[in-house]
């Protein structure tokens, strides 16, 4: 018997990743995508867009009272960003581990922030920090018809039969 049906919920966990404006300007989009592809996650949504204050106020709702919030808004609206939805087993926690510490200066080598950035205010990527937040955040950035359900041809070699 198969351990995972193709409709298995645990293989369909999703997370939101934003490739932030600094990374787009520095032409790091491909490097970021490559890490998630190589790990084995499945890309199910992606777009380049210019964020506005409306969507960022929702996305960063919990940070609106922080002293750095105005500069965070300026940063996140300074140029286009790439919004992506990645899917797979344990993708929320795995992606947070791959992204590394919020403060790039403390982020470990081998993490995206640790390899590509120097400072908390220009930390290259966002990744949802829980399954619940991922669900909410995906809803802020994507319409349901912008997500594509598809089967990876190497699935059994990624997860086992
Ligand atoms: N941020 C900042 N200064 C700080 C803390 C956070 O500019 O002292 C920015 C940074 O871009 C960070 C974002 O605010 O990624 C959201 O902060 P959060 O604590 O949610 O960290 P994350 O989930 O992105 O690691």
Q: What is the ipTM of this complex?
A: 0.98
Asked whether the predicted pLDDT for residue 114 surpasses 70, the reply is yes
Among the CATH numbers 3.30.470.20, 3.40.50.10490, 3.30.70.141, 3.30.420.40, which is that of 9-50+81-151? 3.30.70.141
Average of per-residue pLDDT across 58-77: 98
Residue 161 to residue 49: CA distance in whole angstroms: 38
The residue-averaged pLDDT of 134-140 equals 98
CA distance 15 to 18: 10
Q: Which residues 6+ apart lie within 8 Å of 42 measured at CB?
A: 86, 87, 88, 150, 152
Is 121's C-beta closer than 6 angstroms to any atom of ligand 1? yes
> Six-digit token pair at 149?
């359900």
Which residue from 102, 114, 118, 128 has its CB within 8 A of the most atoms of ligand 1, so it is best to mutate? 102
CA distances to 50, 54, 105, 117 from 77, in Å: 7, 11, 23, 19
Q: Examine the pLDDT at 4 and tell me if it is beyond 80.
A: no
Answer yes or no: is pLDDT of 1 > 60: no
Distance 57 CA to ligand 1 centre (A): 14
Between CA 71 and CA 75 the distance in angstroms is: 6
User: Could you tell me the pLDDT band of residue 5, with boundaries at 50, 70 and 90?
Assistant: low
Q: What average pLDDT score do residues 43-71 get?
A: 98
Q: What pTM was estimated for this model as a whole?
A: 0.95
State the pLDDT at residue 61. 98
Task: Check if 97 has its Cβ closer than 6 Å to any atom of ligand 1.
Answer: no
Q: What is the pLDDT of residue 161?
A: 84
* CB distance 91 to 127 below 8 Å: no
| Spans of all domains in the chain | 9-50+81-151
Is there a contact between 147 and 85 (Cβ–Cβ < 8 Å)? Answer: yes
Q: Is 135 a catalytic residue?
A: no
């Amino acid at each position: 018997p198969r351990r995972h049906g193709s409709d298995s919920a645990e293989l369909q966990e999703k997370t939101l990743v934003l490739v932030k404006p600094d990374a787009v300007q520095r032409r790091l989009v491909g490097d970021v995508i490559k890490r998630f592809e190589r790990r084995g996650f499945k890309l199910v949504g992606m777009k380049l867009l210019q964020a506005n204050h409306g969507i960022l106020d929702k996305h960063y709702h919990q940070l609106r009272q922080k002293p750095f919030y105005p500069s965070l808004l300026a940063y996140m609206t300074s140029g286009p960003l790439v919004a992506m939805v990645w899917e797979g087993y344990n993708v929320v926690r795995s992606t947070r581990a791959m992204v590394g510490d919020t403060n790039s200066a403390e982020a470990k080598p081998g993490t995206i922030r640790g390899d590509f950035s120097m400072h908390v205010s220009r930390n290259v990527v966002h990744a949802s920090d829980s399954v619940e937040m991922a669900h909410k955040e995906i809803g802020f950035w994507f319409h349901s018809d912008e997500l594509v359900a598809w089967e990876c041809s190497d699935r059994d070699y990624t997860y086992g039969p």
